[in-house]
Amino acid sequence: TLGAWVKDCECLFCYGKWDFPYSLVPWLYSSFRGRVEIIQLFCKIFHILFQHKSIKHPCLNMLRRVGEEVDILTCPYNLSHQILRCRFQVHLVRCRKSHPDAKKVVCPFNVTHRVNEQELDWHVSTCSNRQSFEVFKSSDSHASGSSMCTSFNDNGTEANSTWQTANTSFELETSQNWDDLPSVPSYDPKAYAEKSNVLRQPVGMKPSERVAFRNAERKRLQNL
């Protein structure tokens, strides 16, 4: 019973980086006579030792007592791995690296479903997450003008429903038409600077040309 409770405690796995020393379970049981409160305290201390600075870590809230309902999934690569559902996807990524020769394929409806290659066709036809995909596909077909929708009943059986969509066209009314506007010449910055109170600089001129340009600019600015 105590060993089952320890396996249900996700914090002991430290996010999959470390393995809990299950050899200490008999020692804990004999030393503390199965007192869950003391075992929980030991788990917190064990968690801090593995580079966790605070005991207020979110995964400490996952501590479970014996008898409480826990959502546990079995790893497809190693059946002895019992992982919480909220940590299952992270565990699969790490466990797959430890089993590179495992001939497992990923379900197209749920990445956490890893099955054998021979069982893929059967799993796809019976996958529990297929319903959401079919609903999404049917809604997309409905938006594009399709008249057929494939859905699933509550009992898992397939049901077909049809509808008709009206091909309506929408025209956005506007009071302006750029094609009817008169032609306007493009903006000329040099012509604008000659008629504005803007100090221009002689660029790329000879010394004599720069002197003449500055004199002309001085007269131009005085006349504005």
Number of domains in the chain: 3
* Domain extent at residue 148: 129-162
Give the per-residue pLDDT at 206.
92
For the record, the structure tokens of 195 come out as: 């008629």
Non-local (6+) Cβ contacts of 224 within 8 A are: 196, 197
Per the CB < 8 A criterion, the answer to whether 22 and 6 are in contact is yes
Q: Where are the alpha helices (DSSP H) in the chain?
A: 2-7, 25-32, 36-49, 88-98, 120-126, 130-143, 189-194, 207-223
Q: Is residue 84 part of a domain?
A: yes
CA 42 to chain CA mean position, Å: 35
Q: List, in order, residues 6 or more apart from 50 with CB less than 8 Å away.
A: 14, 17, 18
Q: Are residues 36 and 88 in the same domain?
A: no
Please check whether residue 47 lies inside any domain of the structure: yes
The predicted structure's pLDDT at residue 214: 93
pLDDT for 80 equals: 87
Same domain, 87 and 60: no
Question: Residues in the chain with pLDDT < 50?
Answer: 1-20, 22, 50-67, 146-166
State how far the Cα of 130 lies from the Cα of 161, in Å rounded to an integer: 17
pTM given for the model: 0.35
Decide if 144 is inside a domain: yes
Same domain, 60 and 78: no
CB 143 within 8 A of CB 129: no
Q: What pLDDT is recorded for position 31?
A: 61
pLDDT of residue 2: 44
